[in-house]
Structure 1
Amino acid sequence: MKLTVAICTYKRYDLLGLAIESLTRQTLPADQFEILIVDNSPSTENSQQQQASYTHLGNLRWVHEATPGLSNARNVAIRLAAAPLIAFLDDDAIADPAWAESLCRTFKVFGETCQVVGGQVRPIWGAPRPSWLGDELLGYISVVNYGDEARFLTGQEWVAGANIAYRTATLRQLGGFDVSLGRVGSGNSLMSNEEVALTDHIRAQGGRVVYDPVAAVDHLVEPARLRQEWFRRRVAWQAVSDRVRAATTEEGPDVERIWSDIKDFFLHTPPAERTVRALALHQDDPGRFRWQLATIYNFTTIMLSGVHEVDDD
């Protein structure tokens, strides 16, 4: 047993079936990896019914986890993993046939300092890509492509939780994912940063992150995520996630710079729109939309930081 492939799911059984099917087509022999489904859906009965559909797969285990939250579900998978490597695949992702085999090979080739491996994440557009969605924003929908060469990543580069693998022993040593971060339920909360926080801990201990272009997946971008209002919510929740993460390091925001950036946005907004409502107005121009999102992030950060300003007048 080389690899545990963990898929954490919540009431998305139709998509889950495609993810599991992609794992049945792997070049890595089925007796060298296990598929571990952690079903976080609320109904035990529905979960058992869905589990029955996969009894023919001898390398698949199905666990129903009642406590909600992606980080908690992933921690359950870490505790139950039977292999020295554990890979997390989103329930709406489809793995290339060489995905599992390439992950195992990359950990071996790059040696013990390689503690995290992530691969390409290619978008499956659930609706046409909007003209206002520039390449700079693709990270918010987990698109990853650093080219065709496997290599160690720098501290500023990241890999997506839709396609990421670790050494199981390292995750157990560090206590797994921070349950104060990450999504809960069907997505009313868009908390994130659970992989980033864990990777920071791993890097602090001398571990390194490797990008593996062969370990690629196709990942669904649902139509709801291709609306400007979703991106605004996503960015606001990113600010929340970053403040929660920063609280553990006692890092404070650069208040003067943030106020200056917010002011600059409004100064370049038409006078009739120069209110907080400008943060919710539709933007056709990709550059203007990025600026709006940056201002939402900054405004949320300032409010969460508990700043207190006194009017100079």
Structure 2
Amino acid sequence: MGVGELDLDGLDGGVLSLTPAPGGPPIAHGEVYVLVRLRGRPVGTVIGRVRAGEDAAEVLAAAARKQLAGHVPEDRAVADEIPVAGEQTAGPGGRSPAPDPARLPRATVVVATRERAGQLARALDSLLVQDHPDYEIVVVDNNPVTAQTRELVESGYAARGVRYVREPVPGLAAAHNRGVAVADGTILAFTDDDVVADGQWLSSLAAPFAADPRLGCVTGLILPARLRTPAQILLESHGGFTKGFAPRRFDPARPPADEPLFPFTAGRFGSGANMAFRADALRAVGGFDPATGTGTPARGGDDLYAFARIVVAGHRLGYTPEALVWHHHRETWQDLENQAYGYGAGLTAYLTALLVRRPALLPALLRRLPRGAAHALTISAHREAGEQSVPGEHGAQDYPWPRGLSRLERRGMLYGPLGYLRARYRVRGLRRPWEPTR
């Protein structure tokens, strides 16, 4: 299946451009999955089938007009209508005004990696051409067994300002904490080594912090860079990492009516491949729990823990679809099985971490436990595939999910608390890297 970007001059307007996803092959005939933009602004994803000899741009534009009709407002608004001090309003045609470079806070981009120099180089190439006027990039080499990452950075990227840091403690959260310790940005942005960032990603991620002093975290849009294998297609049809195309504000002072489990469904806030924090707020809550994340027995949950801790501390959390990264999904069925198990384990591991670190949250969690259990069963339930192999609208609960993956995800949920406790035992006594030595 092809993957591309279609830019329209309004939903009923002409085609401005049709391009493949970054680094992808040209759009040809067959089934094509496209991000639809209106004069640059992401508004949705659609699928079209292009037959040999047809004009791909016109076929996909027609599909976009049909599938997105009635779902794309002319003016962008915050979906939950929470008033935000100084929030920018939409400009003509619904596109937000370009962020004022003079108002953008200095940012540090942290990329944690381990033995994937080829993918890392692709990610760094995209990060070095961001339009943000004041930022640095820090690569954290997590528990390396070879020198390939250090050699890549020192030979090809250090001269362009990329910093290399080594973190010997295994685990994504420990690596992120090392990045927090050395960063000098007011805003700390995190992404993975298997993404390609849109050129306006960092500016779009940082701009909400300048507009709203109560924001502690902002997440962004994650789309698939390739859909070449059945595993990649199935992961995206399961919802992928995408949280939709409506900007959101999650405010602990005004819990959203459509989130009865708030703030314990942190997975609705965003994903770790595309997130940023106000540095002071993240350090104040202790950063990431080093007993969570990929590379630990907990298997995941590091990003969810940080989201929840920020909200519990009283900060707002925002989601903006204009901060876009393209993610290279894993390609094999074994990868997908590992992800399904990791999703389940990370969910319950992060909840365990939250209660261990903040026992006062237990009564609130217990009140939500029945609905939370029902929610967990719903998101991990087996579903047959529908007509579309990849949905144009994300966030629905009718995507396909095979029975075997459903069982793995639920087994992961049962394992998560034990995995967290095992990981916590391994890192006992470990202090945050920015904390003074006693």
The reply to whether TM is greater than 0.5 is: yes
C-alpha deviation, 1:170, in angstroms: 1.1
Task: Sort the Cα spacing of 1:198 and 1:8 in 2 relative to 1 into closer, same or farther, 3 A.
Answer: same
Residue 7, structure 1, aligned to residue 7, structure 2: no
Task: Sort the Cα spacing of 1:137 and 1:16 in 2 relative to 1 into closer, same or farther, 3 A.
Answer: same
Indicate if the aligned counterparts of 1:89 and 1:162 stay in contact, CA closer than 8 A.
yes
The 5 Å alignment of 1:110-259 reads 111-125=212-226, 127-130=228-231, 133=234, 137-139=238-240, 143-147=241-245, 149-153=246-250, 154=256, 155=262, 156=265, 157-184=268-295, 189=297, 191-224=299-332, 229-238=337-346, 241-242=349-350, 244-245=352-353, 247-248=355-356, 249=359, 250=362
Indicate if the aligned counterparts of 1:115 and 1:202 stay in contact, CA closer than 8 A.
yes
Task: Sort the Cα spacing of 1:15 and 1:126 in 2 relative to 1 into closer, same or farther, 3 A.
Answer: farther
Task: Sort the Cα spacing of 1:298 and 1:212 in 2 relative to 1 into closer, same or farther, 3 A.
Answer: closer
C-alpha deviation, 1:46, in angstroms: 3.6
2:281 is matched by which residue type in structure 1?
T
Cross-structure match for 2:129: 25
C-alpha deviation, 1:286, in angstroms: 3.5
Deviations 1:66-103 (A, max 9, x none): 22221111111111111100000101111100011112
Task: Sort the Cα spacing of 1:176 and 1:238 in 2 relative to 1 into closer, same or farther, 3 A.
Answer: closer
Indicate if the aligned counterparts of 2:173 and 2:292 stay in contact, CA closer than 8 A.
yes
Task: Sort the Cα spacing of 1:83 and 1:178 in 2 relative to 1 into closer, same or farther, 3 A.
Answer: same
Indicate if the aligned counterparts of 2:301 and 2:349 stay in contact, CA closer than 8 A.
yes
SS in 1 for 2:130: coil
| Normalised TM-score (structure 2) | 0.54
Rounded to whole Å, the distance in 1 between the matches of 2:181 and 2:352 is: 25
SS in 2 for 1:15: helix
2:119 is matched by which residue type in structure 1?
L
SS in 1 for 2:109: strand
Deviations 1:119-171 (A, max 9, x none): 000013364245993767335xxx12321x43314534221000000001111
Indicate if the aligned counterparts of 2:340 and 2:409 stay in contact, CA closer than 8 A.
no
2:207 to 105, 117, 123: 105
Question: Larger % of helix: which?
Answer: 1
C-alpha deviation, 1:287, in angstroms: 6.2
Deviations 1:146-202 (A, max 9, x none): 21x4331453422100000000111111221101111127xxx56211122222221
Rounded to whole Å, the distance in 2 between the matches of 1:182 and 1:301 is: 11
The 5 Å alignment of 1:233-312 reads 233-238=341-346, 241-242=349-350, 244-245=352-353, 247-248=355-356, 249=359, 250=362, 286=401, 288=403, 291-293=406-408, 295-297=410-412, 300=415
The 5 Å alignment of 1:37-76 reads 37-43=139-145, 45-55=147-157, 57-76=159-178
Rounded to whole Å, the distance in 1 between the matches of 2:194 and 2:416 is: 31
C-alpha deviation, 1:63, in angstroms: 1.1
Rounded to whole Å, the distance in 2 between the matches of 1:168 and 1:8 is: 17
User: Which gives a bigger RCO, structure 1 or 2 (Cα 8 Å, sep 6+)?
Assistant: 1
Deviations 1:264-299 (A, max 9, x none): x9xxxxxxxxxxxxxxxxxxx746456535653565
Rounded to whole Å, the distance in 2 between the matches of 1:225 and 1:6 is: 29
Task: Sort the Cα spacing of 1:300 and 1:23 in 2 relative to 1 into closer, same or farther, 3 A.
Answer: closer
Structure 1, unpaired ranges of 5+? 266-284, 305-313
Indicate if the aligned counterparts of 2:341 and 2:411 stay in contact, CA closer than 8 A.
no
Rounded to whole Å, the distance in 1 between the matches of 2:416 and 2:173 is: 23
Identity of aligned residues (%): 25
Task: Sort the Cα spacing of 1:297 and 1:20 in 2 relative to 1 into closer, same or farther, 3 A.
Answer: closer
Task: Sort the Cα spacing of 1:132 and 1:204 in 2 relative to 1 into closer, same or farther, 3 A.
Answer: same
Rounded to whole Å, the distance in 2 between the matches of 1:76 and 1:135 is: 31
Bigger shift: residues 55-64 or 293-302: 293-302
Task: Sort the Cα spacing of 1:51 and 1:287 in 2 relative to 1 into closer, same or farther, 3 A.
Answer: closer
C-alpha deviation, 1:302, in angstroms: 10
C-alpha deviation, 1:65, in angstroms: 2.0
Task: Sort the Cα spacing of 1:134 and 1:127 in 2 relative to 1 into closer, same or farther, 3 A.
Answer: closer
1:96 is matched by which residue type in structure 2?
D
Rounded to whole Å, the distance in 2 between the matches of 1:169 and 1:70 is: 20
Q: Cα RMSD between the aligned structures?
A: 3.2
Indicate if the aligned counterparts of 1:127 and 1:222 stay in contact, CA closer than 8 A.
no
Structure 2, unpaired ranges of 5+? 1-104, 251-255, 257-261, 382-399, 420-438
